[in-house]
Amino acid sequence: MLRDPDTIIDEVYRSDWGRIVASLIRLVNVFDVAEEAVQEAFAAALAQWRSSGVLESPQAWIVQTARHTAIDRIRRRTRFSEKLESYAASGLITAIEEPDHDTSEIPDDRLRLIFTAFIPAERRRIPPRSRGGSCDVGSLRRGRRRKANSRDARKSRAILS
């Protein structure tokens, strides 16, 4: 009986995810690379199995695909760091010096202006939550508060006492 690839992938994911990730971590010794490779292998399985059908052993296919993906990723990282080191050693990179800023040069009023400019106007007009009232979205937009009902008033008194 032929089953749906989505169902098979779901079953394999639920039953074997931990074992597949653990075996890949044992092989590559890098947790994040192993987990990402397994995720990519499941995505590749979903794409490929929908068009060509599910193989005899889906777990083995996912492990092998994840293994090859992880090895490729580790090779890519290694090659990138080698190229970066050789590029830095070649002297082609000019060192960018960090600018020398005087922190006392910026007065507090300018910082206050910067922070005020980034706070949306709606947040500055929200009425304070004193006097036991409550706000809803509509009243906030209109800039008004609802009258406090007895339950809200009791809550406010309980919190304040």
What CATH number is associated with residue 70? Answer: 1.10.1740
Q: Which among 32, 70, 64, 33 has a CA at the least distance from the CA of 48?
A: 64
Higher pLDDT, 58 or 111: 58
Domain total of the chain: 2
Domain boundaries, position 143? 119-160
Among 33, 67, 89, the domain boundary falls at 89
Q: Please compute the mean of the pLDDT values over residues 87-116 and round it to a whole number.
A: 70
Whether 100 is in a domain gets the answer: no
The rounded Cα 33 to chain-centroid distance in angstroms is 16
Is 82 in the same domain as 129?
no
* Burial (0-12, 13-18, 19+ Cβ within 10 Å), 115: exposed
Q: Does residue 134 surpass a pLDDT of 80? A: no
3-state secondary structure string across the chain? CCCCHHHHHHHHHHHHHHHHHHHHHHHHCCHHHHHHHHHHHHHHHHHHHHHHCCCCCHHHHHHHHHHHHHHHHHHHHHHHHHHHHHHHHCCCCCCCCCCCCCHHHCCHHHHHHHHHHHCCHHHHCCCCCCCCCECCHHHHHHCCCECCCHHHHHHHHHHHC
What is residue 61's predicted lDDT score, i.e. its pLDDT?
92
pLDDT of residue 49: 86
pLDDT at residue 3 tops 60: yes
Q: What percent of the chain has pLDDT over 90?
A: 32
Mean pLDDT across the chain: 76
Quick: pLDDT tens for 4-37.
888 888 999 999 999 999 999 999 998 899 999 9
Q: Burial code of 47-79, b = ≥16 C-beta within 10 A, e = fewer?
A: eebeeeebeeebeebbbebbbebbeebeeeeee
For residue 67, tell me if it sits in a domain: yes
| The pLDDT value given to residue 69 | 95
Residue 96 domain-assigned? no
Same domain, 80 and 126: no
User: Does residue 128 share a domain with residue 77?
Assistant: no
Are 22 and 74 within one domain?
yes
Kindly indicate the confidence band of residue 53, based on its pLDDT and cuts at 50, 70 and 90. Answer: confident
